[in-house]
Amino acid sequence: MSRLSNIAGVILAAGQSSRMGKVKQLLPFRGKTILQWVIDNALASSLERIIVVIGHRADLVEPAITGRDVTVVINDYYRKGQSSSIKAGLQALPEGTEAVLFMLGDQPLVAPETINHILNAYVTFQNPIVLPLYKGKRGNPALFSRETFHGLESLTEDCGGRSLLKEYDGKVLQLEVYDPYIHFDLDTDEDYRRLLKLEAE
């Protein structure tokens, strides 16, 4: 698959899984872990490079992704919230990176085709932020161009990139995709049971 040389993927997988009560990145699903599915879907897309930000129980998570063609970044400040992982991912980008697709480490069902649809929309329209929608509702992953990096670097605590939407009002591309799983992440045991039910079906 052709690569888009200036667009990177940053997978945010440093959280403490506090609502789950276990390391959700390592939960099994269809012969792999949740995080392995996220990484492999990213690797199957047109993203040029993949950066995986880990933190909580990095001693367990990092060995589970060894051998995959990704850059692993350990965020020692993960307790400060998602903003710390966003910053860690940005700091690991090669010079000249044009845009970043932020992916969540607990969304194993987002398809490579969905990722490519977002990337192609950015290449075509050049909006500084591209957000996917399914049936009119926003989901993840979300793309942010270099124009937004300064704002992302100023985030604090558990704020994500969507706190920049007001600043970029009128310049955000809201892209309809045909993937309901942009809304599906794993926060609780109930979410995981739903995922396993999908596997059984």
Domain coordinates of the chain in residue numbers?
4-200
pLDDT of residue 1: 47
The reply to whether CATH 3.90.550.10 applies to domain 4-200 is yes
pLDDT of residue 200: 79
For residues 122 and 7, is the Cβ–Cβ distance under 8 A?
yes
Mean pLDDT of 87-111: 96
Residue predicted with more confidence, 130 or 22: 130
pLDDT of residue 18: 79
Residue predicted with more confidence, 155 or 51: 51
Q: Tell me the whole-structure pTM to 2 decimals.
A: 0.95
pLDDT bin (cut points 50, 70, 90) of residue 2 is low
Q: What percent of the chain has pLDDT over 70?
A: 98
Burial 141-177 (b: 16+ CB within 10 A, else e): bbbbbeebbeebeebeeeebbeebeeebeeebbebeb
pLDDT of residue 175: 98
> Could you tell me the CA-to-CA distances from 36 to 95, 168, 180, 188, 192 in Å, in that order?
27, 33, 20, 19, 15
